[in-house]
């Protein structure tokens, strides 16, 4: 059953710009295709679980895009097995480099993918 009242309870500050990485998850995330292309999409160097969402968000922030929190929006997420956290320390290093250098484009992103043979 859908709660028809909860959207009316959204706080006034919910749509204000926010530049924090905390709380960003790509399963609850959207942006325009042009924004994604400007930063070269997700960086394919990340392996296993962790930090690829923060990497993308940081590069979007570095490119000048703003975050807006919109509470009460419907979300659908496909269930999937959780990936291994064995590479988390390596992924932390990749994210630290992006933050330190204020990099905008992914080193191994959309532009580096080979075209589909279909």
d(CA 53, CA 88): 13
d(CA 105, CA 103): 6
d(CA 97, CA 91): 10
Residue 57 sits at φ, ψ, to 5 deg, of: -60, -45
d(CA 106, CA 62): 12
pLDDT tens-place string over residues 83-94: 889 999 999 999
| Sequence spans of domains, the chain | 38-69+83-108
pTM above 0.85, yes or no: no
3-state SS record for 79-103: CCCCCCCCCHHHHHHHHHHHHHHCC
Residue 96: pLDDT over 90: yes
pLDDT tens-place string over residues 1-16: 455 555 555 555 555 5
């Amino acid at each position: 059953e859908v709660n028809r009242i909860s959207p009316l309870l959204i706080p006034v500050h919910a749509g204000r710009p926010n530049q924090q990485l905390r709380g960003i998850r790509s399963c609850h995330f959207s942006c325009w295709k042009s924004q994604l292309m400007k930063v070269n999409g997700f960086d394919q160097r990340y392996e296993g679980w962790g930090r690829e969402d923060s990497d993308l968000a940081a590069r979007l922030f570095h490119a000048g895009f703003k975050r807006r929190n919109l509470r009460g929006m419907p979300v659908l997420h496909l269930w999937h097995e959780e990936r291994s956290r064995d590479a988390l320390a390596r992924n932390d290093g990749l994210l630290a480099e992006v933050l330190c250098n204020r990099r905008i484009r992914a080193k191994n992103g959309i532009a580096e993918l080979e075209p589909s043979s279909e």
